[in-house]
Chains A and B, each alone.
Chain A
Amino acid sequence: MKQNQNNFLFDRTLLRRSLRASFTKLDPRQMVKNPIMFTVEVVTFAMLLLLVWIAVTGDTSQGTLLYNSIVFLVLLLTVLFANFAEAIAEARGKAQADSLRKTREETPAKRIEPDGQSHIVSSSALKQGDLFECVAGDTVAADGEIVEGLASIDESAITGESAPVIREAGGDKSSVTGGTKVLSDRILVKVTARPGESFLDKMIALVEGSSRQKTPNEIALTILLAGFTLVFVIVCATLKPFADYVGANITVAAFISLFVCLIPTTIGGLLSAIGIAGMDRALQANVITKSGKAVETAGDIDTLLLDKTGTITIGNRKATNFYPVDGVDKKAFIRLCVLSSVADPTPEGKSVVELGAAEGVRIDPVSMVGVRMVKFTAETKCSGVDMPDGRRIRKGAAEAILRLAAEQGCACPAEIAATTRRISENGGTPLVVCENERIMGVIELQDIIKTGIRERFERLRRMGVKTVMVTGDNPLTAKYIAEKAGVDDFIAEAKPEDKLEYIRREQQSGKLVAMMGDGTNDAPALAQADVGVAMNSGTQAAKEAGNMVDLDNDPTKLIEIVEIGKQLLMTRGTLTTFSIANDVAKYFAIVPALFIASIPSLGALNIMHLHSPESAILSAVIFNALIIPLLIPLALRGVTYKPIGASALLRRNLFIYGLGGVVAPFIGIKLIDTLISVFF
């Protein structure tokens, strides 16, 4: 999915749609939201009036009609380029959302009426609170929560992930998304969001601008840019009496050009595109944001709460070692272990069978006839099998098995305690195995830390983000894994309240906290966190509480989100710097051109040796206009974030965009001047 998204920029229909939008956005009522480009539109209109006046009177004291027409066209292009930047960002976001929405077009739904009858209706007729039924092969008609049943569901339409997932009523995996496909079984779903009001629809509205609100940072930046614009209004307006006083005649076109070149049009034109592109990038990462602000806040995150399972470690624990007690043959012990796990469907159980196979112990399922399974219950805290020959094989937590043995009066071998402690200290979980209440040995289960996760945490640390691992493990195990994975802190034996408490404490010391969660009991913490990312598979409550929804259910996504947020702010900052730095060269291009006719000695300021006053002014406005489309790809892609520390980052960006911003227009204006000097 990621591949084709990069091509959106060059997609022909998108371009056509954006081009059309650039013109419709000329509507002053829309333009006024962007004070900088609005002033450009106003002075462009003034230029138009001047053109009419010249055409009617034939007066050329303001320059020729051709010259003024070119200035007018370039100014108009400046506005159009800015509009185009916004339009293409919107179009990209929309296209992305549309491709997601396609999956949720009209589908038939089997609605269950209050009387228990089922009727086939269109998905658009579903209302919040309605119940509908899905069986294998059906497409889920609307977002909802499973109230009855269990099903495996293909969510590839939304997530791009082809492996089916299990969703069931009750618990934390009860949510289904419209457009996904039920592969097996039957479920009864309660509609939680009316079609058109789902998160995706909210996001589309956000991207399209109808409900888009400026984020706090964007407002502050707009204020600053409006301030700069005002300074240049004053600078240009007062230049008129100064020039009159010293007897220099300045044309209207020159005044307007000076003004438009000095005000920060580059950032002004790209500002909203940058904001939308931030949300687009989140969407590309399959994250639906409920507001633009959330993306921005993500860049500021100081503390990241991560669940151990799935984020830091690969899903589940794996068996890594068998430790028989003294006097028990290893092969025989392994055989016991495998027997106890053959019918165990949990990942831990499967891993025991796998490890056994690796050690050369295989059990033919045929030989299992007559074996009775004993399921794991919260009460016994162990599971196992009863063999036809009367042997009872059990495996479970150390305390549970030891108690079982003690009840039967069996002695506990001395080395068991030492082995289990050693395993715990190394971050593992010991499982004790007994046969007829006689303790036979220990299986070591280890958490497998994801490859590369240490490097990611290192990267986060360099960004200034503190990582906190949340786990239900005991403190010993938690500490070991925390150290091994390289997280900064951990919460062991965590209950949902602990998360909330931790978040509150961090926030009290002024930090911004992000977390990811899926369960209903995560909801308070998700709401409390500054950035709460709910997994799409999570419960409705969790999704409502958070301010982002991750369609991939990928716990490491938070790291990407933080980078997207940082990129968003950086792009704004660097383009502002670039835009303001440009002014240096523009002053030196235009100011001598304004006065050179009346005060020839000011030609000494023409350090670029531009050809003529007209060519100088035209090159400056043309450069000013062209730089906007040239920077659109950067605005949409975002400035690359490198976690090299704030000071180094500032040095780097100041060098590229600050110094570059001073130098680039000198080169650009001189080049354009060389080209057009043939005509002017």
Chain B
Amino acid sequence: MNTEILGVILQWTLLVVLCYPLGRYIAKVYRGERTWLDCMAPVERGIYKFCGIDPAQEMNWKQFLKALLTVNLFWFFWGMLLLVLQGWLPLNPDGNPGQSPDLAFNTCISFMVNCNLQHYSGETGLSYFTQLFVIMLFQFVTAACGMAAMAGVMKALAGKTTKTIGNFWVFLTRSVTRILMPLSLVVGILLVVNGTPMSFDGKQTLTTLEGAEQVISQGPTAAIVPIKQLGTNGGGYFGTNSAHPLENPNAFTNILECWSILILPMAMVFAFGFYTRRRRLAAWIFGVMLFAYTAGVIVSVWQETAGSPQIDRMGIAQELGSMEGKEIRIGSAASAMWGMTTTVTSNGSVNSMHDSQTPLSGMLQMLNMQINCWFGGVGVGWMNYFAFLIIAVFISGLMVGRTPEFLGRKVEAREMKIATLVVLMHPFLILVGTGISAAIAAANPEIGWLNNPSFHGLSEMLYEYTSSAANNGSGFEGLGDNTPFWNISTGIALIMGRYFPIVGQVAIAGLLASKKCIPESAGTLRTDTGTFSLMTFAVIIIVAALSFFPALALGPIADYLTF
């Protein structure tokens, strides 16, 4: 048990120590300063030339968003086409058929919005071609898309008054060539060394020790897993995701993969500090996020390692903690840590069954996604925090007797309208979705969606919508979600949960950027202080977390109290 806890502490330390230099590097990449990966420049020039992009063109926030949305639409058609036609395409040694249009639609949307909710199993539902050119490609570009959006926001907040917020295409390309690709390469090689398959051979038939025959799926797994983790994507190569022994072979790969989930979202916070030259502010934002994340990890690790009281009552020893739904090679502490890490970010990959974790862990996982800004998805997580920051700035600005301003720009009615809508959208999607499904489930008890009745059943539905709206993609599971109702309703939540905030947050940044920059004075509210950080934290807890309190009280809290 102590080794497990030490593993958790090691992983935490590796994250906190390494994200700072990485953040500085990312800032340099977006600023266009010299880095040791300038050797990628010819590749990038090739891409710009091929796509007819003028990398020197500066976009205003509307043009920026137009480019972002257009390329997303293009990816949607690209993905749909390949998924439906994969049966006829090459690299299909197992002869898997094309996806039905409705399944393709679901898969495509879910990967396009960086959510990776999977209603198929990788072993049978995809060919190697689509694994690489839909799944892996989307895992790169959608992560890069979120990062590019944040780069635009950083550019908007960094300079003096400006109408333009940079070139979307350049940010997008650089995110892939200089951040995601090199990191994935390193992680991928480490995975291959540890036994993750990387081949184009089809299923392998093996004879087990008992003499039975077993068919083992394989393929270019090591190429996909790194970006799955690094890009806060989470869509597993195999159906059981990182609980699968080939996707996550041992304790080392577990630490590596878990580290990969959080490293970029953490680094992005510091990248903001370096880019805008407001390192103190970035450090405070990082502090708030790290505090919330660490608190969750401590509670969850404690809950999982303590074991389940029900099994205790049966008189069964649980030295390893609560092991239901967990892998023995990973252990309860590392599974709890992963559960927190994958939900604070919008990753959603799993190495254990979240449904089987203790109620408080389950509640914290939901709460992480409901708040959706403790680090969050690459780029977009910080942007969610930014929306809360605007609201906190507004209230505290008034509290010190000045028209609120953030980084020298006045926050006025238009920005408040957008920030309020963005903040409002998240509980709306989650609560209304769960409300409708709860009403249907209550009216038709035989509908057969839920594995568990009562409070835990409500948790399962709440988790599904929470995960969709937060673009997380992890499932509580235990929910029969492959029905038209769940496909469509979660699909809507996915799209709204992705594009609505991005558009809103980039718009706020763009609007702020074009305003006159007010020089700081003694009357200016400083945002890089502990007091203001506390204020932001309180706003997030009261506005985001507490609005889920009644729902959580009937789900996991009631579950816990009756456990």
The answer, yes or no, to whether B525 is at the interface (CB within 8 Å) is yes
Interchain CB contact (< 8 A) of A243 among B412, B413, B427, B554 = B554
Separation of A580 and B52 alpha carbons in the complex (Å): 51
CB-based contact A238/B434 at 8 Å: yes
Separation of A14 and B542 alpha carbons in the complex (Å): 38
The answer, yes or no, to whether A174 is at the interface (CB within 8 Å) is no
Separation of A299 and B522 alpha carbons in the complex (Å): 13
CB-based contact B442/A602 at 8 Å: no
Q: How far is the CB of A282 from chain B (nearest CB, A)?
A: 15
Q: How far is the CB of A511 from chain B (nearest CB, A)?
A: 7
Which chain A residue lies CB-closest to B435? A238
CB-based contact B420/A224 at 8 Å: yes
Q: Which residues of B contact A605 (CB under 8 A)?
A: 553, 557
User: Given A216-B413, A464-B521, A647-B525, A241–B438 Cβ distance below 8 Å?
Assistant: yes
Q: How far is the CB of A461 from chain B (nearest CB, A)?
A: 7
Q: Which residues of B contact A649 (CB under 8 A)?
A: 399-401
Q: How far is the CB of B240 from chain A (nearest CB, A)?
A: 29
Which of A33-41, A317-325, A339-347, A570-578 touches B? Answer: A570-578
CB-based contact A238/B531 at 8 Å: no
Q: How far is the CB of A589 from chain B (nearest CB, A)?
A: 12
User: Given A583-B546, A646-B526, A654–B531 Cβ distance below 8 Å?
Assistant: yes
CB-based contact A231/B399 at 8 Å: no
The answer, yes or no, to whether A364 is at the interface (CB within 8 Å) is no
CB-based contact B549/A238 at 8 Å: no
The answer, yes or no, to whether A666 is at the interface (CB within 8 Å) is no
User: Given A243-B554, A577-B395, A569–B402 Cβ distance below 8 Å?
Assistant: yes
CB-based contact A220/B521 at 8 Å: no
CB-based contact B428/A234 at 8 Å: yes
Separation of A222 and B546 alpha carbons in the complex (Å): 21
Q: Which residues of A contact B562 (CB under 8 A)?
A: 599, 601
CB-based contact A242/B531 at 8 Å: no
Separation of A234 and B431 alpha carbons in the complex (Å): 7
Which chain A residue lies CB-closest to B561? A601
Which chain A residue lies CB-closest to B555? A242
Q: Which of B283-321 contact A (CB under 8 A)?
A: none
CB-based contact A573/B396 at 8 Å: yes
Q: Which residues of A contact B516 (CB under 8 A)?
A: 510
The answer, yes or no, to whether A244 is at the interface (CB within 8 Å) is yes
CB-based contact B522/A462 at 8 Å: yes
Contact with A along B518-536 (1 / 0, CB 8 A): 1101111110010110110
Q: How far is the CB of A219 from chain B (nearest CB, A)?
A: 5
Q: Which of B64-87 contact A (CB under 8 A)?
A: none
CB-based contact A242/B550 at 8 Å: yes
Interchain CB contact (< 8 A) of B442 among A245, A569, A580, A654 = A245
CB-based contact B547/A232 at 8 Å: yes
The answer, yes or no, to whether A584 is at the interface (CB within 8 Å) is yes
User: Given A223-B417, A461-B522, A246–B549 Cβ distance below 8 Å?
Assistant: no
Which chain B residue lies CB-closest to A301? B523
Q: Which residues of B contact A587 (CB under 8 A)?
A: 546, 549-550
CB-based contact A239/B551 at 8 Å: yes
Contact with A along B414-441 (1 / 0, CB 8 A): 0111001101100110011011101101
CB-based contact A574/B417 at 8 Å: no
Chain A interface residue count, CB cutoff 8 Å, equals 78
The answer, yes or no, to whether B89 is at the interface (CB within 8 Å) is no
Separation of A565 and B431 alpha carbons in the complex (Å): 40
The answer, yes or no, to whether A12 is at the interface (CB within 8 Å) is no
CB-based contact B432/A227 at 8 Å: no
Separation of A169 and B173 alpha carbons in the complex (Å): 73
CB-based contact B412/A463 at 8 Å: no
Q: Which residues of A contact B518 (CB under 8 A)?
A: 302, 510-511
Residue from B403, B424, B428, B518 with most neighbouring chain A CB atoms (10 Å): B403
Q: How far is the CB of A463 from chain B (nearest CB, A)?
A: 5
Residue from B412, B454, B553 with most neighbouring chain A CB atoms (10 Å): B553
Interchain CB contact (< 8 A) of B423 among A227, A511, A565, A599 = A227
The answer, yes or no, to whether B398 is at the interface (CB within 8 Å) is yes
CB-based contact B398/A217 at 8 Å: yes
Interchain CB contact (< 8 A) of B435 among A241, A511, A569, A658 = A241
Contact with A along B372-415 (1 / 0, CB 8 A): 00000000000000000001001111111111000010011101
Interchain CB contact (< 8 A) of B416 among A223, A584, A594 = A223
What total of A-B pairs shows CB separation below 8 Å?
A: 219
The answer, yes or no, to whether A465 is at the interface (CB within 8 Å) is yes
CB-based contact A646/B395 at 8 Å: no
CB-based contact A645/B522 at 8 Å: yes
Q: Which residues of B contact A594 (CB under 8 A)?
A: 550
Interchain CB contact (< 8 A) of B401 among A248, A641, A658 = A641
Interchain CB contact (< 8 A) of A245 among B395, B401, B438, B553 = B438
CB-based contact A296/B438 at 8 Å: no
Separation of A583 and B546 alpha carbons in the complex (Å): 9
The answer, yes or no, to whether B190 is at the interface (CB within 8 Å) is no
The answer, yes or no, to whether A265 is at the interface (CB within 8 Å) is no
The answer, yes or no, to whether A650 is at the interface (CB within 8 Å) is yes
CB-based contact B553/A224 at 8 Å: no
Interchain CB contact (< 8 A) of B551 among A242, A463, A568 = A242
Separation of A224 and B436 alpha carbons in the complex (Å): 27
Separation of A217 and B413 alpha carbons in the complex (Å): 7
CB-based contact B420/A654 at 8 Å: no
The answer, yes or no, to whether A228 is at the interface (CB within 8 Å) is yes
The answer, yes or no, to whether A566 is at the interface (CB within 8 Å) is yes
Which chain B residue lies CB-closest to A588? B549
CB-based contact B535/A654 at 8 Å: yes
CB-based contact A591/B553 at 8 Å: yes
Separation of A641 and B523 alpha carbons in the complex (Å): 12
Q: Which of A123-181 contact B (CB under 8 A)?
A: none
The answer, yes or no, to whether A595 is at the interface (CB within 8 Å) is yes
Residue from A238, A565, A581, A591 with most neighbouring chain B CB atoms (10 Å): A238
User: Given A220-B413, A244-B439, A510-B517, A591–B549 Cβ distance below 8 Å?
Assistant: yes
Separation of A302 and B516 alpha carbons in the complex (Å): 14
Q: Which residues of A contact B402 (CB under 8 A)?
A: 299-300, 566, 569, 646
Interchain CB contact (< 8 A) of B558 among A228, A246, A646 = A246
The answer, yes or no, to whether B543 is at the interface (CB within 8 Å) is yes
Q: Which residues of B contact A462 (CB under 8 A)?
A: 522
The answer, yes or no, to whether B458 is at the interface (CB within 8 Å) is yes
Q: Which residues of B contact A240 (CB under 8 A)?
A: 435
The answer, yes or no, to whether B486 is at the interface (CB within 8 Å) is no
CB-based contact B554/A654 at 8 Å: no
Q: How far is the CB of A569 from chain B (nearest CB, A)?
A: 5
Separation of A483 and B255 alpha carbons in the complex (Å): 65
Separation of A584 and B539 alpha carbons in the complex (Å): 11
CB-based contact B403/A296 at 8 Å: yes
Interchain CB contact (< 8 A) of B529 among A235, A247, A647 = A647
Q: Which residues of B contact A463 (CB under 8 A)?
A: 522-523
Q: Which residues of A contact B411 (CB under 8 A)?
A: 220
Contact with A along B78-122 (1 / 0, CB 8 A): 000000000000000000000000000000000000000000000
Which chain A residue lies CB-closest to B160? A510
Separation of A297 and B432 alpha carbons in the complex (Å): 41
Q: How far is the CB of A119 from chain B (nearest CB, A)?
A: 52
Q: How far is the CB of A613 from chain B (nearest CB, A)?
A: 14
Q: Which of A546-587 contact B (CB under 8 A)?
A: 565-570, 572-574, 576-577, 580-581, 583-584, 587
The answer, yes or no, to whether B47 is at the interface (CB within 8 Å) is no
Interchain CB contact (< 8 A) of A224 among B394, B427, B538 = B394
Interchain CB contact (< 8 A) of B399 among A241, A509, A591, A654 = A654
Separation of A584 and B415 alpha carbons in the complex (Å): 27
Residues of A within 8 A of B (CB): 216-217, 219-221, 223-224, 226-228, 230-232, 234-235, 237-248, 258, 296-297, 299-300, 302, 461-466, 509-511, 565-570, 572-574, 576-577, 580-581, 583-584, 587, 591-592, 594-595, 599, 601-602, 604-605, 641, 645-647, 649-651, 653-654, 657-658
Q: What 5 A-B pairs are tightest by C-beta distance, nearest first? A: A464-B523, A573-B398, A566-B401, A227-B420, A238-B435
9 contacts between A and B (CB under 8 A): A220-B413, A238-B435, A244-B442, A245-B458, A246-B458, A510-B408, A574-B399, A592-B553, A651-B531
